[in-house]
Structure 1
Amino acid sequence: MGKHAIHGALGVAGLFGLILLWWLGVHLFGEADGLSARFSPQATLGSLIELLGQAEVYEHIWVSLKRILIGLVLALLIGVPLGLLVGSYRHLEAATTPAFQFLRMISPLSWMPVVVMLMGVGDQPIYFLLAFAALWPILLNTAAGVRQLDPRWLQLSRSLSATRWETLCKVIIPGVLGHVLTGVRLAIGILWIVLVPCEMLGVSAGLGYFILDTRDRLAYSELMAMVLLIGVLGFMLDAMARGLHRRWVHA
């Protein structure tokens, strides 16, 4: 058995161990016929199968994924150019690093009341909060990539009389793309965590909204099914980001 097969088997065993702990927790700390039974793996799996047979849940998934994509694109449009500038100019880096580190340490969710007052409810505040959350890993990783470029590449570019635009497109951007993809992977993890509470800002669709809806309907097994579905979707997004990064690194 190869190394990858062993790692895969261990990963599956770990997931089964997690499900076993879930089952034990429900049965040890709850009553068999009480409220806790609705949170059991059996009830959750049954509700998940029912939900996956309904078109409504796919609409909520699509809305959430669309918000993730828009927030990520906005963060890339802002973070990559800023990262290129900060990484290229030491004085600019010195002037902006304290401010960026200060803003980075403020939880995006703490801006929710302010953003709602300024933008109202709907998609706009969600896009802002998601873009704000994803900006910092992309910006900082891009800047780190610029600083780690081999100076000989830039020297060769200058010796060939390349313009700044040619140097940017042919040397700098390909050289930092691996760092940008690392920032994207980190950003996706942050976005997926921030998304659900953001979707509780008075919107009428999305995974966060659907969780509130199941709570209000007292459909607790459906609520747990949505929590499980959010975990699966987040795992798949992270796997896609890891695969993209690995493909670029080994290209």
Structure 2
Amino acid sequence: MPSRKRQWWLGSAGLLSLLLAWWLGVEVLGSGQALAARFSPQATFASLFELLGSAQLYENVWVSLKRIVISLLMALLMGVPLGLLIGGSRNLEAATTPAFQFLRMISPLSWMPVVVMLMGVGDQPIYFLLTFAAVWPIVLNTVAGVRALDPRWLQLSRSLSATRWETLRRVILPGVVGHVLTGVRLSIGILWIVLVPCEMLGVSAGLGYFILDTRDRLAYSELMAMVVLIGVLGFALDAFARGLHRRWAHAG
């Protein structure tokens, strides 16, 4: 069997096993409880198909994806230049590494009370928290990309009397793009995890808001449908990031 086809079958078997474990968990742990039936795969997928015909669902998905994209762009605009600067200077790397390692180990969610007090509720604190979460993988992978550059390319650039801008544009940036895309993929995973609790900060749209709404309405099958949808969308975003990385690596 071809490798790609075998991987597809194995992946499908893994998903079916997960679905079976979900069904067994509800049947065993929720045996005799009427409430447990609302969390079953049957009820969840029935609610999911109903939600797919609702314009409200697509509005919330669009809002969440917009927050992801904008936050990722802001993280790139800050993280890539900062990573290039740090990667090009041993002294700057030594000066910033302890502070950056300290900051990146603080969960972005722990900043939520502080950010809400300073910025209030709404989109502004969400963008801040998401950007804070996404910037560290991009910075660290950009630094790693600069360090991994072949010194002979830099020597060749100097021997050809290339300016700093030409060296940056022709040598450094093409050499670090693969590492930056690795950081982007890691950032997307972090963003998707942090997004849902961030959207519970008093906003009126988004996947996190919609989950709170289903809870308040006691629509538990819809709540589980949203959990499944979040997993599907996150899987699709990661697959997109992996595809970009593979295409760049293949082109390189």
1:172 and 2:172 correspond: yes
Per mean C-alpha deviation after superposition, the further-off stretch among 23-32 and 74-83 is 23-32
Structure 2 counterpart of 1:202, one-letter code: G
Paired residues, number: 251
Offset at residue 228 of structure 1 (A)? 0.2
Unmatched runs of 5 consecutive residues or more in structure 2 = none
1:161 and 2:161 correspond: yes
Q: State the partner residue of 2:84.
A: 84
Distance in 1 (CA, whole Å) between partners of 2:3 and 2:180 is 29
Q: Which runs of 4+ in 1 moved over 2 A?
A: none
* Superposed counterparts of 1:204-223, under 5 Å: 204-223=204-223
Contact kept in structure 2, 1:133 and 1:190, CA below 8 Å: yes
* Superposed counterparts of 1:58-73, under 5 Å: 58-73=58-73
Question: Which digits, 9 at most, give the CA deviation of each residue in 1:105-136, with x for residues without a partner?
Answer: 00000000000000000000000000000000
Distance in 1 (CA, whole Å) between partners of 2:158 and 2:206 is 50
Is the partner of 1:121 in helix, strand or coil? coil
Q: State the partner residue of 1:139.
A: 139
1:93 and 2:112 correspond: no
Offset at residue 31 of structure 1 (A)? 3.1
Offset at residue 33 of structure 1 (A)? 5.7
Q: State the partner residue of 1:4.
A: 4
Distance in 1 (CA, whole Å) between partners of 2:218 and 2:9 is 37
Distance in 2 (CA, whole Å) between partners of 1:189 and 1:221 is 25
- The TM-score normalised by the length of structure 2 is 0.99
Distance in 2 (CA, whole Å) between partners of 1:201 and 1:85 is 35
Q: State the partner residue of 2:148.
A: 148
Question: Which digits, 9 at most, give the CA deviation of each residue in 1:15-53, with x for residues without a partner?
Answer: 000000000000011135610000000000000000001
Question: Which digits, 9 at most, give the CA deviation of each residue in 1:218-240, with x for residues without a partner?
Answer: 00000000000000000000000
Change (3 A) 1:94 1:33: closer
Distance in 1 (CA, whole Å) between partners of 2:79 and 2:182 is 13
Question: Which digits, 9 at most, give the CA deviation of each residue in 1:74-114, with x for residues without a partner?
Answer: 10000000000000000000000000000010000000000
Structure 1 counterpart of 2:135, one-letter code: L
Q: State the partner residue of 1:203.
A: 203
Offset at residue 206 of structure 1 (A)? 0.1
Structure 1 counterpart of 2:93, one-letter code: E
Offset at residue 201 of structure 1 (A)? 0.2
Is the partner of 2:43 in helix, strand or coil? helix
- The TM-score normalised by the length of structure 1 is 0.99
Contact kept in structure 2, 1:22 and 1:41, CA below 8 Å: yes
Unmatched runs of 5 consecutive residues or more in structure 1 = none
Structure 2 counterpart of 1:8, one-letter code: W
Is the partner of 1:149 in helix, strand or coil? coil
Distance in 1 (CA, whole Å) between partners of 2:47 and 2:32 is 18
Q: State the partner residue of 2:21.
A: 21
Query: Taking every aligned residue pair, what percent have the same amino acid on both sides?
Result: 79
Per mean C-alpha deviation after superposition, the further-off stretch among 33-42 and 209-218 is 33-42
Distance in 2 (CA, whole Å) between partners of 1:33 and 1:125 is 40
